[in-house]
Amino acid sequence: MEVNFSDPNFLPWLIPVGPLLAFFIITLATNRARLVPATSHEYGGHHPDYEGMLVPVATVPSRILSVTVGLAGVIMALFFSYTVAFSAFGEHGFGAEVVYASNIAWMATGDTAFRLGVFVDPLTVIMLIMVPLAVLMIFIYSIGYMAHDPRQSRFFALISLFAGAMLTLVVADNLLLLFVGWEVMGLCSYMLIGFWFEKKSAYKAAIKAFITTRVADVVMLLGIVYLYYATGTLNFRDILYNPELLEQLAATPALIFGSWGISAASIIGIFLIVGTIGKSAQFPLHVWLPDAMEGPTPVSAMIHAAAMVSAGIYAIIRIYPLLEAGGNPHYGILSQPMVLMAVVGSFTALFAATIAVAQNDVKRVLAYSTISQLGFMMAALGIGAYIAAAFHLITHAFFKALLFMASGSVIHGMEHGEHHVHEHAAHGHDDHHHDDHHGHFDPQDMMNMGGLRKTMPVTFITFLIGGFSLAGFPLITAGFWSKDEILADAFYGLTKGYGAHALVFIMLAVAAFLTAFYTMRQLGLTFWGEPRTEVAKHANLGRGLVSFTMTLPLIILAFFAITAGFVGVPPDFPILGPIFSPEHNAFHYFVIETLHPAFQAEAPAVNAIPVLTSFVVALGGLGLGWWMYWRKPLVAGEEDPLVGILGPVHTVLKNKYYIDEIYVAVFVKPSQAFSRFVIDFIDRGILDGILHTIARVATWIGDLFKVLNTWLIDGVGDGIPDGIFDFGGWVRRIQTGHVQEYLLVVLGAVLVIGIILALSTGILQAAG
């Protein structure tokens, strides 16, 4: 096979190369460090636990070079991604008749072999538009955010690997290669969540994320193995564009639970969905994502928008025909995997939204928001709203990346204000700093903020745009159009009397209302009113490169948080339809060709009820938030009005329904107790007892052999030569050299011989 990288069939191979190459270059070449004391100014000077230790700190030239290499790698990925994407846009019949694909032999499996390859269809194309752009914005933002971190080079190496793994997952042509990218991202998330490992909460959060997602990944791997067993291939096109094969899987009873009416397609789909429940933080495996906020903010943006959790939903969208096999959601017939997605997704969307309402941490609110929005996508797939789920995945990536980076700017500004207050207090210039500054001030607590619109206007405006898009502000935000598509599909099924569609419509509508409310609450507590602490009065990003690199990505993403939705305006939508979709819904028309015609369905016609529902829940939630937090802003020391309104319910919501505590009681502590039992009773008692007994017996046997060796072997072996030696010494004394003594001995011998002869003769005669 002749490789030609100017051919779009081979060009996708180069897309992940840039970030992956950047990772290796930074790790092996540019990350030059020198050892400094852990308590030195270069390392931050605030690590007393490392007193006396030397830690590696990258030199300034090394850090600059590492940032340059990382940025170059992601720009390279963006260039190749957009080259492939725009080539696809100009390709007639792309998706249905034409895809870009090439592969090579990977691993032998007996008579066959796994093939490693790339695959680009319409779904891949929209991901190649979103992922590299969001990643580039995160990289630019990281230049300023991580500018003063002594391990900046290590950060850019890991985040480059993260980006490369996500792009590998996107262009993979088979489920096994997708899983490789999936697992590498899991490793990166572990290392980046725990990047500031000096903090106990950070490394605990990293372990929690790693273990939780691994539980789900093991189940997902079982699904991959079963799929290969059942089909003999893991190639997406061979499986998903083959209705006959999918029907066969749907008609074949599963190896396990087959007697319960579950088909092979269903059990494979359920196993694969469990992987997404873990990776995309759906209930009940959602607990790791809020704790992932312990990592640097660019990592949060990467996990919540450009990669990681988006990868989970992307994987489900990618294998959707397998999940639908045996059902027809447009006629109310749902397969078991679809029922699972509809129930889990809609419940998670509402469940997480209720928790977000009572959170005060600016990033934690967004974390639960992400869980909720991923629930929207999962529920949409559960009712067959394939295009709506893919649409919301793209728009959500833009406005959620914007919101996380804007929240990072807020935190950075608050920390800057905290340093300012401390410096002035240390020099006696400020006697009114907040009491919490004595080692307890939390720069992420929105109750410590307020009035930041005055000192951080760009962050305020972009945060407002991202928040309104998250809330689904009607007509002018991307979030409105993608959420409305989901509600429209759910309402269409509701009118047909389909129970799952009704459940999804009602629960998602309530979740959307709460989303708008907590978004307005977050904006009000953070930016509106007057500063509630001295730190908030002085919060700002400063000037120069740090400020520029942290605000430029916000402005660019704010543009997409508004405009990205216009590619999916229904053509029959009043006034705006003919403007943005004169011929057809561009997004639907392009992406639908990802599916085989047997799975394609027309978008439901515009209906006033779901549209009005979108208007009411968005404007109603925003209005309620304005009435509670903007009309009369909170002042310093004032309690959140929700506390009084909700009472004990607020405590339950603030503590996340005590799910973490339940898991600790049900899983963690019993596991620890079992581990202690294994160590104390089985390991130390039984195993060590057996080993010690064997050792004692072996020692006794050894001592016995030692005694036998001393008495018998050494005694006999050494005694014989010793006796001979002693006898020789005695005989030697006879040789004196005196003749008279020799004659005397001879005489004695003759006498003895004579006596013996005489006696023997006498005895013989007597006997005779």
Rounded to whole angstroms, how far apart are CA atoms 748 and 746?
Answer: 5
Output the average pLDDT for the chain.
Answer: 88
Residues in the chain, total: 768
Number of domains in the chain: 4
69 shares a domain with 7: yes
449-503 pLDDT, tens digit each: 999 999 999 999 999 999 999 999 999 999 999 999 999 999 999 998 888 999 9
Residues 125, 224 within the same domain: no
Which one, of 370, 352, 353, lies nearest residue 293 by Cα?
370
Q: Is the domain of 222 the same as that of 80?
A: no
Domain-embedded: residue 695: yes
Residue 195 CA to residue 739 CA, distance in Å, equals 104
Cβ pair 168, 181 in contact under 8 A: yes
pLDDT at 519: 97
pLDDT at site 541: 79
**Is the residue at 638 inside a domain?**
yes
Which one-letter amino acid corresponds to residue 765? Q
Out of 652, 677, 697, a domain closes at 652
Asked if residue 568 and residue 424 are part of one domain, the reply reads yes
* Helix spans in 90-150 (H): 122-145
User: Is the separation of the CB atoms in 535 and 448 below 8 Å?
Assistant: yes
Residue 50's pLDDT band, with cuts at 50, 70 and 90, is low
Question: What's the rounded Cα separation, in Å, for the pair 686 and 267?
Answer: 41
Binning pLDDT at 50, 70 and 90, where does residue 395 land? very high
pLDDT of amino acid 436: 41
Asked whether residue 75 is domain-assigned, the answer is: yes
Does 380 or 721 have the greater pLDDT score? 380
Q: Which of 158-167, 469-478, 685-694 has the lowest mean pLDDT?
A: 685-694
Decide: helix, strand or coil at residue 169.
Answer: helix
pLDDT band at 617 (very low <50, low <70, confident <90, very high): very high
- The structure tokens listed for 151 are 């391990």
Which of 652, 675, 706 is the last residue in one of the domains? 652
Among the residue ranges 34-48, 185-199, 365-379, 478-492, the one predicted with the least confidence is 34-48
Query: SS3 letters for 77-100?
Result: HHHHHHHHHHHHHCCCCECCCECE
* Residue 485 near residue 391, CB atoms below 8 Å: yes
Q: Over the stretch 347-378, which tens digit does the pLDDT of each residue have?
A: 999 999 999 999 999 999 999 999 999 999 99
User: Is residue 702 one of the residues assigned to a domain?
Assistant: yes
Residue 199's alpha-carbon distances to 50, 152, 414, in angstroms, are 12, 17, 19
Decide: helix, strand or coil at residue 102. Answer: strand
Residue 717 has which token pair?
């072996």
The pLDDT of residue 43: 57
Identify the domain containing residue 193 by its residue range: 174-324
**What integer pLDDT is reported at residue 307 of this predicted model?**
82
Residue 757 lies in a domain: no
- The verdict on 163 and 26 lying in the same domain is yes
| Cβ proximity of 621 and 629 under 8 Å | no
Q: Are 476 and 386 part of one and the same domain?
A: yes
In a domain, 309, yes or no: yes
Is the pLDDT at 111 greater than 80? The verdict is: no
* pLDDT single digits (tens) 75-101: 999 999 999 999 999 888 888 888 999
In a domain, 767, yes or no: no
At residue 388 the predicted structure's pLDDT band, cuts being 50, 70 and 90, is: very high
Mean pLDDT calculated for residue range 229-257: 91
What angle (nearest 5°) sits at the alpha carbon of residue 549, between those of residues 543 and 554? 110
Same domain as 582, residue 521: yes
- Whether residues 275 and 340 fall in one domain: no
**What was the pLDDT predicted at 431?**
41
Among the ranges given (186-200, 624-638, 734-748, 753-767), the one the predictor scored with the smallest mean pLDDT: 734-748
The encoded tokens of residue 442 equal: 């939390």
Q: For residue 575, what are the contacts with CB-CB under 8 A and spacing of at least 6? A: none
Residue 275 near residue 266 (C-beta atoms within 8 A): no
Q: What is the DSSP string of 57-74?
A: EE-HHHHHHHHHHHHHHH
Most confident of 4-13, 57-66, 202-211: 202-211
Q: Which of 426, 433, 401 is nearest to 531 (CA)?
A: 433
H or E stretch covering 55: strand 54-58
Domain termination site, one of 324, 347, 380: 324
Q: Tell me the average pLDDT across 587-597.
A: 93
On whether both 592 and 508 belong to a single domain, the answer is yes
Contact 106, 116 (CB under 8 A): yes
Residues 483 and 594 in one domain: yes
More confident residue, 157 or 716: 157
Which helix (H) or strand (E) covers residue 103, if one does? Answer: strand 100-109
Mean pLDDT is lowest, of 56-70, 275-289, 508-522, for 56-70
Q: Which amino acid is at 81?
A: S
8 A C-beta contact, residue 177 and residue 165: no
CB-based contact 474:618 (threshold 8 Å): yes
Euclidean distance between CA atoms 33 and 62, whole angstroms: 8
**Cβ contact 129:81 at 8 Å:** yes
Residue 525 shares a structural domain with residue 672:
no
- 730: burial class by Cβ within 10 Å (0-12, 13-18, 19+)? exposed
Helices (H) and strands (E) in the chain, counts: 32, 4
Q: What is the pLDDT of residue 438?
A: 40
Residues 287 and 408 in one domain: no
Task: Name the packing angle between helices 478-495 and 362-382 (round to 10°).
Answer: 40
* 398 lies in some domain: yes
pLDDT tens digits along 698-734: 889 888 888 877 777 767 777 777 778 777 777 677 6
Cβ-contact 545, 444 below 8 angstroms: no
Give the whole-angstrom CA distance, residue 748 versus residue 615.
142
pLDDT above 80: residue 65: yes
Q: DSSP state, 730?
A: H
DSSP calls for 344-411? HHHHHHHHHHHHHTT--BHHHHHHHHHHHHHHHHHHHHHTT-HHHHHHHHHHHHHHHHHHHHHHHHHH
